[in-house]
Copies of this chain bind each other. A is one copy, B any other.
Amino acid sequence: MVNKFFAILVFVGVPLVIVGALINWSDMLMFFLSCASIIGLSGYIGRATESLAIVSGPRVGGLLNATFGNAVELIISIFTLKAGMVGIVLASLTGSVLGNLLLVLGLSFFAGGIKFKRQRFSVHAARYNSGLLIFAVIVAFVIPEVFSITMSSQKTLSLSIGIAIVLIALYLAGLFFKLVTHRGIFASTDQPEVTTEVPEWTKKKSILILLLATVVVAFVSEQLVHTFEMLGTKFGWTELFIGVIIVAIVGNAAEHVSAITMAVKNKMDVSVEIAVGSTLQVAMFVAPVLVLVSLFMPKSMSLVFTLPELVAMITAALLVINLSNDGESNWFEGLTLFAAYLIMGIGFYLL
């Protein structure tokens, strides 16, 4: 049923976006059509990843999901950078971090916790994630913010480039650690893998759909970005609110759908990997890649967020680390994360 809904969104939405782009429909209409299409496409990306995950295990599956989920975001962000809207890119990175950590993880904990009293996931994976969350959000994002106060903007950019390279290098080293040298430690704690589960699609079909959906998302995203200016003037929404809330929800739809589905099936290892893994990928790969890409764009982007953005990410990271470090979750922890998202949402709306 959900699948049918996504199918309609894609097979009705995408053609309409194409038509609309050609004959110049109103921004308002185009905004809703592109959002709907992207959400529908995210559904396909989610299902393809799920099929792959059954074949390749929860960790690689989660990684694939995070990667293709973030591919959508990376594409939207590059188009936004091309349009010179650096502020929206930083805001959407923030929104992606907040959305994954608080909304996706919160709803997963909550939905799973309604059905199961207590859900477990790998403590080792949780600790690995905590360490990198602190590294990325609290070290790598805070240092340029504080140091840039008394720096020239040229030096701030140099610092950002240096940090970007360190982040990407450590992210790759982390993959090597998780998938090669310490693979066994990250074994799943989910119920004894019955592995009688049959993937919906074959491996080949899944990869094909992933690639195709990603390309279409890229096209639709470009249409979406063009409507942002209108949103600002029409609704009085700030760049910050558009980036942090709207772009983040649309851009992370795939993660939302997959993570919650997995949580309800009591596969918390996959859920956590999607939500937190996706956050880490945004912070340690997407963000630094965008810094480097921006050097070839009209306006280069330093890794300096606004103070509200940075503080929201830091507090979200501390909350998630504290709630997940014991490798257990329940509905109240999910509600706590969601409540934090709500508070920040109100804050960004009023800002």
Q: Report which A residues bind B (CB closer than 8 A).
A: 117-118, 127-128, 130-132, 134-135, 138-140, 142-144, 146-147, 149-151, 155, 158-159, 162-163, 166, 169-170, 173-174, 177, 181-182, 185, 307-308, 311-312, 315-316, 318-319, 321-323, 326, 330-333, 335-336, 339-340, 342-344, 346-347, 350-351
Inter-subunit contact A127/B326 (CB<8 Å):
yes
When the two chains form the complex, which single residue of B151, B163, B181 contacts A351, counting CB atoms closer than 8 Å?
Answer: B151
When all copies of this chain in the complex are counted, the total is 3
CA of A166 to CA of B335, assembled, Å: 11
Interface of A, secondary structure class, is helix
Closest to A342 in B: B166
* Minimal beta-carbon separation of A265 from chain B (angstroms): 21
CA of A318 to CA of B351, assembled, Å: 28
Q: Using known A-B contacts A131-B319, A169-B339, determine if residue A350 contacts B155 with beta carbons closer than 8 Å.
A: yes
CA of A150 to CA of B130, assembled, Å: 31
What would 23 A/B residue contacts be, using CB atoms closer than 8 Å? Answer: A117-B181, A118-B185, A130-B322, A131-B333, A132-B336, A135-B336, A138-B315, A139-B316, A139-B340, A140-B343, A144-B347, A147-B347, A147-B351, A151-B350, A151-B351, A158-B350, A162-B343, A166-B339, A166-B342, A166-B343, A170-B335, A170-B339, A177-B330
Inter-subunit contact B139/A315 (CB<8 Å):
yes
Q: Which of A177, A333, A336, A351 has the most CB of B within 10 A?
A: A336
Inter-subunit contact B350/A139 (CB<8 Å):
no
Inter-subunit contact B131/A331 (CB<8 Å):
no
Chain B residues, Cβ within 8 Å of A173: 332, 335
* Minimal beta-carbon separation of A189 from chain B (angstroms): 16
Q: Using known A-B contacts A131-B322, A131-B323, A131-B333, determine if residue A143 contacts B312 with beta carbons closer than 8 Å.
A: yes
Q: Using known A-B contacts A332-B177, A350-B158, determine if residue A344 contacts B143 with beta carbons closer than 8 Å.
A: yes
Instruction: State the 10 A-B residue pairs at the shortest beta-carbon distance, nearest first.
Output: A177-B332, A162-B346, A147-B347, A146-B311, A155-B350, A170-B339, A139-B315, A139-B340, A134-B319, A131-B323
When the two chains form the complex, which single residue of B140, B144, B185, B315 contacts A142, counting CB atoms closer than 8 Å?
Answer: B315
Inter-subunit contact A343/B139 (CB<8 Å):
yes
* Minimal beta-carbon separation of A126 from chain B (angstroms): 10
CA of A231 to CA of B139, assembled, Å: 29
Chain B residues, Cβ within 8 Å of A128: 332
* Minimal beta-carbon separation of A307 from chain B (angstroms): 6
CA of A323 to CA of B131, assembled, Å: 6
Chain B residues, Cβ within 8 Å of A351: 147, 150-151
* Minimal beta-carbon separation of A105 from chain B (angstroms): 13
Chain B residues, Cβ within 8 Å of A344: 139, 143
Inter-subunit contact A181/B311 (CB<8 Å):
no
Q: Using known A-B contacts A132-B336, A311-B143, determine if residue A159 contacts B347 with beta carbons closer than 8 Å.
A: yes
